[in-house]
Amino acid sequence: MVPEHTPKRSPSQQARRAKLRADGTPARVTRRRPETRGRLLDAAFGVFATRGFGRASIEEVCEAAGYTRGAFYSNFDSLDELFFALYTERSELLAHRVATGLAHPPADIPELVAQAVQALMVDRDWILVSTDFRLYAARNPEVAAALRAHRNQLRDALAASLTPTIDRSGLPTSMRTPDGLARAVMAIHDGATTELLLDNDPAQFKSWLADLLTALLDHPSHTRTPTPAKHPTPNSQ
What's residue 130's pLDDT? 87
Give me the pLDDT at residue 31, please: 58
The string of pLDDT tens digits covering residues 151-161 is 898 888 888 88
CA distances to 9, 112, 175, 211 from 214, in Å: 45, 9, 15, 5
pLDDT tens, N- to C-terminus, the chain (237 residues): 333 334 455 554 554 444 444 444 444 445 578 899 999 999 999 999 999 988 999 999 999 999 999 999 999 999 999 998 988 888 778 777 777 766 776 678 888 888 888 877 788 888 888 888 889 999 999 889 988 988 898 888 888 888 887 888 888 899 999 999 999 999 998 888 888 888 888 888 889 899 999 998 886 544 444 444 455 555 544
Given this model, what pLDDT does residue 11 score?
53
Neighbouring C-beta atoms of residue 70, cutoff 10 Å: 8
How many alpha carbons lie under 13 Å from residue 146 in its C-beta half-sphere?
A: 23
Q: What is the dihedral of CA 78, 82, 88, 90, to 10 degrees?
A: -150
Q: What per-residue confidence (pLDDT) applies to 234?
A: 52
